[in-house]
Structure 1
Amino acid sequence: MSEMAGVAMRGGLTRLERWLAVGWLLLVLALVAHQLQFWRASRLDTDVMALLPTSERTATADRVLRRLADGVAQEVVVLVGSPDWARTRAAAQRFSAATAPQAALLQPVDKIATFDFDAALAFYRPWRDRLLTDAQRAGLQSAAPEALAQQALTRLYQLSTGPRLTDWAADPLGLWQDWWLSRAAVTRVHERDGLASVSGDGREWALLSYRITRPAFSVSGATDYGDLLKAAEAAARQGDDGVRVIAAGIPLHAESAAAQANFEMNVIGWGSLAAVLLLVWLAFRSLRPIVLVGLSLAIGTAAAISATAIVFDRVHLITLVFGASLVGVAEDFGIHYFVTRQSMPRATPPSVMRFLLPGLALALLTSVVAYLALGVAPFPGLRQMALFSAVGLVSAFLTVVFWFPLLDRGTLRQTRLSNWLAGSLARWPRVRNDRRTWLALAALALFIVPGVWQVRIVDDVRQLQSSPPALVDAQRAAGRLLGTPSPAQFVLVRGATSDAVLAGEEAVKAKLADAIARGDLQGFVSVSDWVPSAARQRADAALAERQELAVRQSVARALGGTIAAPATAAASADSVLTLQAWLANPVSGTLRHLWLDREGSGYASVMLLRGLEKPAVMPGIARVVDEVPGAEWVDRIADLSGLLHHYRVLMSWLLLAGAGGVALLLAWRYGRAGWRALVPTLLAAAISVAVLGWLHVPLQLFSVLALALLLGVGVDYGIFLLEHPGDGVSWTAIVLGAASTLLAFGLLALSSTPALHAFGMTMLSGVGAVWFLSPWFRPAAGPSHNNVEQG
């Protein structure tokens, strides 16, 4: 208390302090206006990929795949299935009837009618003779003319057995019809009784498609789409246990993420806020500290959201969930102020603030540096979180410094809790060179070493995924039944010209023909399936023309007449179907997203792979693809997981550098005694890693980020104990601040997102440990930091 006795008992606000308070008021009013605009526009992001960095190697493919995702961002697919088609059709009709009254929410889309087959036939007909499948090409090259003539003659006698796309004279071998049948085989969906249908898993499925009519994200956490689909599923079943319904689509994941984030933000944010205010009430038994501390937290959180929205345009939900734990850190400034005011009833609020400002500013600096360290790496998600947290802390700090001395009126009486906490510091043991200290350190080592030994490192990007398992399983089942290619693995083809890219795609397909024959792969979705390269078209046209001429002559001799090809059967021999013509026609609508017009000095396309379900075969496919000039295998999951590994290692080194920087700051301020503020935090970091090992929680990038944050938060406790050695008042503020921080990060450990769960667990154990250890390393009581025990 000797230090506090020297504080001026009187002294009001200076002119500068009043102007600063008014200036901060103007900024807060502007902040309120921006908040109203932000929540009205609801610029919130649920896409996990938006959090992740993009390597230069895959930047092109990322843009293409984002275009792919945009195309289905509002689409929901529902598969209704049963062992026989009649039951499936009836169940699908009941499902459709249940959703019909809610067409304003889910609008049905007729997938069968979306492709204009007649227009496609008209577009491709001039190029009929230069569109061959691999099987047709191989057959024309190897088959004897007599065998081909016999096939043509058989087709001639079967003209009345079904619809024909061309007459016999124009296409005696039926190449045109077979080419279209091979294109239809790319999809497993076919028309049946007016419904899109597919077979698989021992069931007949009806495919129902819908487009959402409003954003899936809801700030309130409502699950309108999910609730409607569950009600429609109940109607489809209607007591028939054999009916199964599978619903999938990006909107359902977005809605689920929004609902989960809303729940977690309420639990973490409001829960930690309620805990902080309860602690403030128990410590001060006054509404004034509750209102002012709550005000600083509200302004800090609002400023964090606005700054993130201004810099990044959109705020990610995971950033908000992460930022909800900010409450557990930002309240420290207000609590320290009111604890000191409580112990100095005769001092004026401005004089108390001036007395506390050096220690508070240093504590803010270490915490902000720790948060900003998260944003060193080019990682969009981390940079959002770093900016959010740093701005929130600074804004809460400025609110306390500028407004509390102006708004705080009256006195605060001592309470039983504050007196008990202030007196508890004297009863806390201190580190000494004695047997008890060495035994305690040995016990810590016995806990830390085996725990760290058990730590399992996981750099899987799926740790950022928080969709419910049932929804993930439904998405996988729908993709398997529909044969939808996964965008996670694909082939990126580049070339100086568009025709070189098409030729590159054809080379990749030729290289992977053996993989398809082995069943490692089912096929491709690529532009060259619909627009072959110019060289391929000319070669196929010459092959088809030569064989068709021989067939016509052979059949004519057998029939005793002549057969001439129609004059309009094909385009001129030199002309080819160009990519530009295909892109300009609506027939390319479903695949246009796979092509980039210009990419740097050339062109690029993406080839999606169908039926790639065996992870063990991917390395072999990757090696084969990389042998093709201009082609490269891309595995987004592996690439992103590799980036997480890279940044985890990088952040680990930065963490060590940060510890060194903090050590220099402490040495500059406290001399040799600075180790007393740093060692508890380092021990707490080791304890938190050991806890992860004992609890079998994987160590990942977010765990390292938690350790970086722990460095800033934990050192604060040591700073306050060094600033005011032996002062029970500062210890009271530390206990209250640490308790609220523990509650905030303890609640974050409840998050369903594995990355945030690991972050919360690391912070929970780390903050608890540094809270316990900091007073253990405190210096002996002294009048000020200038007289702190040296060493």
Structure 2
Amino acid sequence: MRNKWAILWLLVVLVVGAHQVRFWRSARLDTDVLALLPEDEQAPEVGAATRKLADQAGRELVMLVGAADWDSAQRAADVVKVELSREDSPLKASALDASSLETALELYRPYRDRLLTSSQREWLAKASPEELGGTALMKLYQPAGPKLTDWEADPLGLWPDWWAARASESTARPRDGRLWLSGEGREWVLLAWHSQVSAFALGDEGNITSAVARARAAMEAQVPGSRMVSAGVPLYAEAAASQASSEMSTIGIGSLAAVLLLVWLTFRSVRPIVLVGLSLALGCAVALSVTALVFERVHLLTLVFGSSLVGVAEDYGFHYFAARQGRPPSERWPLMRGLLPGMVLALATSVVAYLALGVAPFPGLRQMALFSATGLVAAFLTVACWFPLLDTGELPVTSFATRFAASLSRWPRFTHTPAWWVGTAVLGLFVVGGLWRLGTRDDVRQLQNAPAHLVSDQRELGRLLGLPSPAQFFLVGGDDSEQVLEREAALKAKLDPLVTQKVLSGYRAVSDWLPSRVQQRADAELSARAEAQAVAAVAEATGEAPTRARFADDVLTPERLLASPASAAIRQQWLGRLGDSHFSIVMLRGLNDPSVLPRVAEVAQGLEGVRWVDKTREISSLLERYRRLMGGLIVLGYLAVLMLLVARFRRQAWRAWVPTVLGTLVTLACFGWVGEPLQLFTVLGLMLLLGMGVDYGIFMLEHPGDNSAWLAVALAGVSTLLSFGLLGLSATPALRSFGLTMLLGEVTIWVLTPCCRLPSGKDVS
């Protein structure tokens, strides 16, 4: 039977090994912070809208290359284009230049008569024949120059004004075959690039950040005084990947080195080092394979979080070898049978605590929960199935282990003495005072920590280009595309006063480029009537017989527009059919002052099918809601664990339970005293404290008076502190808060657990 379980686990490990080879050859590691966040429970279309905006920008990189004068700016732009157009470059130039205007002109020219601005409609509706004729004559005799179309196709010169309104969505203008803008004392050339590789893959292949840095260095060397401002998801993704890779090395390798050093000092044998290292490696490998099979992509933060698993998964190996010291090899299997009840109970509490993270509908948390739970189970199975089989040699007791184990007798134990009650009162005052000062903060920006220079460039580029905000927008829905466009028009009518009052600098809607069918037909009739009067007036004044050009008989449809490269500017805003409805996004420009958001949100009131979306606020509200939910689950979890402990240890169960409760309260009190706010990831750390903290008490109660149990608990506590202490060094605020929570809680629990041990000679009955 022993060999049977060992062979079965070996087969599982071989399958995992094969999967690991395939996984790392084509690793799809996600760095997108949105992947960590939950879907909107009431409106899944909001999640679809956010993903559409994010997917569109996922490989796009935008640059502004500037200099003091236009000629220098053009030279600088040429240097950048040469550097980024090399064969080994991970970037490819996007068709964002003056030639893209020609593509759009060709698409819209047959529909010119039904493309009117609101002011043009108002003027054409009330203009007299004389006024229309005078305008047409003026346009006819205008000096020759570059025009969008000839006089017959646009006798009143309506089209240039329509294009001017579209051009107002961006400050960039065509100039010398480039896109140009002027601002902040410089002339700028706008460049756009498309990443040819995934920015979410680890490794040096296709390093976009390095390519941009080389281009910047070459530009500054060849055109002194020039400047480049760049922004895009690929730069953020690579920064996140680099940070996560560094943290995985620091936390994972640091934890592993610390654990193996402890093993060597305690056992002075290579065998425990190899076997404990094997259990940790297999735990992480199985965890990664299971997570990759369940989820489409593994998030980098999952790996960072999972690297702290080293500080927990080695506990089972510690308990085995601590009990194995000084015993003959023949007692390996009976020893394991004696350890299994306590190990299984400890595993169950830890796994339940990890899986509790998956209660909240956060894909990122569910990944972390699955990774950690399966990793612990795999480490446990490695210890239970293989350690007695592979551990065949002698394992003498070392002086380090003897001194460590003997320290239990010198450790203070709680007794009913005045000194202990005074200490308890002082601790109670500390806890109450800290909890009174404890505040909360639920902010989605805790989930990432972008480099300051990227944030600065993003803000400057957005300010110069007048880009719309991707975090706040209006979601417009309808039964079909026609109704969506009509509702967009109603929304724009209510937004126009805010633009006039400079609450907003503008907006960008699909209906600006694609009016509804009803609007197109109405505009075509209006322009046909007005232009017929204008042409007749010109014929009467000149004696000639000019004719108005003919236009397309049908209307411009969403399908025709989206199939054309001319739709690049608004394609991301057209969601199309989602379920039984159609949706589009109206984006806003100039939302720099958070205080105006409530006023903008009021615009959606009373408009059917229109919803205001403030993704930053919504996710922050979800973080708050699930912080409260998980806080309630912690209370229920403590009660459930207490019931399990009582079932096993009867009246002595409090000895394993109270240290964990105090660890939680002391951690929260420390946060309150130092001004560290309570957030969701703090609460999640407390949830894990519940699962792992009681492990120490369980082993102390399972083996009362056994110094080897205290040795294992001490080693497990120190390694866990090192592991989660390193997690507290993470640059990601959420993970740092989680690590600090675990660090403070584990220290408290580790110190208090031996204080609650059983008196000598007493059992758990």
Q: TM-score, normalised by structure 1?
A: 0.93
Q: How far apart, in 2, do the equivalents of 1:161 and 1:142 lie? A: 29
Q: 1:41 aligns with which of 26, 30, 52?
A: 26
Which range moves more in the overlay, 216-225 or 762-771? 216-225
Q: Does the 8 Å contact 1:221/1:262 carry over to 2?
A: no
Q: How far apart, in 1, do the equivalents of 2:107 and 2:230 lie? A: 35
Q: How far apart, in 1, do the equivalents of 2:205 and 2:265 lie? A: 36
Q: 1:645 aligns with which of 602, 624, 635?
A: 624
1:361 to partner: Cα distance: 0.6
1:23 to partner: Cα distance: 0.5
**1:144 to 1:476, Cα distance in 2 relative to 1, 3 A:** same
**Cα distance per residue 1:531-581 (max 9 Å; x no partner):** 111222233223323332333344444x25365533x43345xx4333333
Does residue 269 in structure 1 map to residue 213 in structure 2?
A: no
Which range moves more in the overlay, 734-743 or 240-249? 240-249
Q: 2:496 aligns with which of 506, 510, 513?
A: 513
Written as runs of structure 1 = structure 2, the 5 A alignment for 1:714-733 is 714-733=693-712
Does residue 213 in structure 1 map to residue 213 in structure 2?
A: no
Q: Does the 8 Å contact 1:680/1:774 carry over to 2?
A: yes
Q: How far apart, in 2, do the equivalents of 1:79 and 1:586 lie? A: 22
Q: How far apart, in 2, do the equivalents of 1:244 and 1:589 lie? A: 27
Partner of 1:6: none
Does residue 561 in structure 1 map to residue 561 in structure 2?
A: no
Amino acid at match of 2:352: V
SS of 1:334's equivalent in the other structure is helix
SS of 1:410's equivalent in the other structure is coil
Give the total of aligned pairs: 765
Q: How far apart, in 2, do the equivalents of 1:689 and 1:241 lie? A: 54
Written as runs of structure 1 = structure 2, the 5 A alignment for 1:14-93 is 16-93=1-78
Amino acid at match of 2:140: L
Q: 2:308 aligns with which of 305, 316, 325?
A: 325
Q: Does the 8 Å contact 2:58/2:233 carry over to 1?
A: yes
Q: How far apart, in 1, do the equivalents of 2:563 and 2:269 lie? A: 72
Q: 2:749 aligns with which of 770, 777, 786?
A: 770
SS of 2:587's equivalent in the other structure is strand
SS of 2:468's equivalent in the other structure is coil
Structure 1: 5+ residue runs without aligned partners?
A: 1-15, 787-791
Q: How far apart, in 2, do the equivalents of 1:163 and 1:490 lie? A: 37
**1:228 to 1:124, Cα distance in 2 relative to 1, 3 A:** closer
Does residue 551 in structure 1 map to residue 534 in structure 2?
A: yes
Q: How far apart, in 1, do the equivalents of 2:33 and 2:528 lie? A: 52
Amino acid at match of 2:40: S
Q: How far apart, in 2, do the equivalents of 1:495 and 1:268 lie? A: 50
Partner of 1:606: 585
Q: Does the 8 Å contact 2:329/2:393 carry over to 1?
A: no
1:612 to partner: Cα distance: 2.1
Amino acid at match of 2:120: Q
Amino acid at match of 2:30: D
**Cα distance per residue 1:51-100 (max 9 Å; x no partner):** 11111444224324423433332222222212322332232233334444
SS of 1:80's equivalent in the other structure is strand
1:614 to partner: Cα distance: 1.8
Partner of 2:634: 655
SS of 2:575's equivalent in the other structure is strand
Which range moves more in the overlay, 710-719 or 432-441? 432-441
**1:538 to 1:309, Cα distance in 2 relative to 1, 3 A:** same
**Cα distance per residue 1:105-154 (max 9 Å; x no partner):** 33333421662x44433432332222101221233235555444433332
Written as runs of structure 1 = structure 2, the 5 A alignment for 1:578-597 is 578-597=557-576
Partner of 1:153: 137
Written as runs of structure 1 = structure 2, the 5 A alignment for 1:140-539 is 140-158=124-142, 160-220=143-203, 224-238=207-221, 242-345=225-328, 348-539=331-522
1:294 to partner: Cα distance: 0.2
Which range moves more in the overlay, 679-688 or 135-144? 135-144
SS of 1:238's equivalent in the other structure is helix
Q: How far apart, in 2, do the equivalents of 1:580 and 1:230 lie? A: 40
Q: 1:123 aligns with which of 80, 103, 107?
A: 107
Which range moves more in the overlay, 70-79 or 455-464? 70-79
Does residue 108 in structure 1 map to residue 129 in structure 2?
A: no
Q: Does the 8 Å contact 1:77/1:207 carry over to 2?
A: yes
**Cα distance per residue 1:626-658 (max 9 Å; x no partner):** 321110001111111111111111111111111
Amino acid at match of 2:245: N
Partner of 1:688: 667
Identity of aligned residues (%): 51
**1:486 to 1:114, Cα distance in 2 relative to 1, 3 A:** farther
**Cα distance per residue 1:299-347 (max 9 Å; x no partner):** 0000000000000121100000000000000000000100001153476
Amino acid at match of 2:637: G
1:264 to partner: Cα distance: 0.3
Q: Does the 8 Å contact 1:76/1:210 carry over to 2?
A: yes
SS of 2:314's equivalent in the other structure is helix
Q: Does the 8 Å contact 2:575/2:583 carry over to 1?
A: yes
Q: Does the 8 Å contact 2:148/2:160 carry over to 1?
A: yes
1:220 to partner: Cα distance: 4.2
Q: Does the 8 Å contact 1:152/1:172 carry over to 2?
A: yes
Amino acid at match of 1:409: T
1:431 to partner: Cα distance: 1.5
Q: Does the 8 Å contact 1:48/1:465 carry over to 2?
A: yes
Q: Does the 8 Å contact 2:40/2:47 carry over to 1?
A: no
Q: Does the 8 Å contact 1:526/1:607 carry over to 2?
A: yes
RMSD after superposition: 2.1
Amino acid at match of 1:561: G
Q: Does the 8 Å contact 2:89/2:206 carry over to 1?
A: no
Written as runs of structure 1 = structure 2, the 5 A alignment for 1:733-772 is 733-772=712-751
Q: How far apart, in 2, do the equivalents of 1:114 and 1:697 lie? A: 54
Q: How far apart, in 1, do the equivalents of 2:206 and 2:256 lie? A: 26
Q: How far apart, in 1, do the equivalents of 2:229 and 2:160 lie? A: 34
Q: Does the 8 Å contact 1:221/1:263 carry over to 2?
A: no
**1:297 to 1:440, Cα distance in 2 relative to 1, 3 A:** same
Q: How far apart, in 2, do the equivalents of 1:441 and 1:102 lie? A: 70
**1:38 to 1:776, Cα distance in 2 relative to 1, 3 A:** same
Q: Does the 8 Å contact 1:223/1:256 carry over to 2?
A: no
1:240 to partner: Cα distance: 6.7
Partner of 1:703: 682
Q: How far apart, in 1, do the equivalents of 2:359 and 2:204 lie? A: 33
Structure 2: 5+ residue runs without aligned partners?
A: none
Q: Does the 8 Å contact 1:221/1:259 carry over to 2?
A: no
Amino acid at match of 1:138: E
Q: Does the 8 Å contact 2:172/2:180 carry over to 1?
A: yes
**Cα distance per residue 1:646-691 (max 9 Å; x no partner):** 1111111111111111010001001121111111101111111122
Q: 1:139 aligns with which of 99, 123, 138?
A: 123
